Structure 1
Amino acid sequence: MATDRPERYAKQLVSHWSKRGEAVEEDGALVQRWATGQVIVLRSVDDALEIEISVAEGDDAARFAQVVKEHLERFGQRDELDVVWHV
């Protein structure tokens, strides 16, 4: 996701979902593990926020990716953020 404020959006997302699971710093990334098995890895890079997601086996990864995308784009509506997933 291209943005000049990747740290802000990473913190906003994990804060929004703070009741779902604790967020910790790991290897330069902000990682949030949900009690239900989903994991979000947010890494700030030059003018972008890299986002990785994973889900428990049998869960719908595409649906979870869509939820993450919708939340980030809503948070960054003024900045016209666009989350693009690369598989």
Structure 2
Amino acid sequence: MLTDKGHFDTPNSEKYLQQLCKHFAHKVAVEHDNTNGTIALGMGPATVHATGGTLTAEVTAPNAEELADARQIIDRHLARFAFREDFEAMAWQSTEA
């Protein structure tokens, strides 16, 4: 499995975590509280954390193509919620799962 971790510095990290989790809960299994969430994306789980002024997301997938899709899914949905902050994409880094 491949894993990428992204971060977005924002004073609204908890708000965006809640919006992401509630939005995805209409389509896939989601578990969340005020600062942590797990979203069951088709290619693998996405975990999101809100700490201080940072929202982080970790996506996991079996191959590079699906990992890129997972990053795009998170970025695309977050862009809808963070449009007032001119959000375009998280700063992503590859890690080993």
Aligned length: 84
**Which structure has more strand as a fraction of its residues?**
2
**Unaligned residue ranges in structure 1 (runs of 5+):** none
Instruction: Label 1:32 to 1:16 Cα distance change in 2 as closer, same or farther (>3 A).
Output: same
Residue aligning to 1:49 = 55
2:13 matches 1:6: yes
Q: Which has the higher contact order (CA 8 A, sep 6+)?
A: 2
Cα deviation for residue 19 of structure 1 reads 2.8
**TM-score with structure 2 setting the length:** 0.72
1:10 alignment partner AA = L
Matched-pair identity in % = 19
Paired position in structure 1 for 2:5: none
- Give 1 or 2: higher helix fraction: 2
With normalisation by structure 1, the TM-score equals 0.78
Structure-to-structure mapping, 1:5-44, within 5 angstroms = 5-25=12-32, 29-34=36-41, 36-44=42-50
Deviation at 1:74, TM superposition (A): 2.2
Look up the equivalent residue of 2:20 and give its one-letter code.
L
